[in-house]
Amino acid sequence: MAPRDMLQRHTADELRELARTEIAAEEAH
Kindly list the distances between the CA atom of residue 2 and the CA atoms of 5, 7, 12, 13, in Å, as whole numbers in the listed order: 5, 9, 16, 17
**How large is the greatest C-alpha to C-alpha distance in the chain, in angstroms?**
41
Element (H, E) at 5: helix 3-28
pLDDT digits (tens, 9 = 90+) for 1-29: 677 777 777 788 899 999 999 999 999 87
Structure confidence at residue 11 (pLDDT): 86
Structure confidence at residue 26 (pLDDT): 93
Quote the pTM value: 0.54
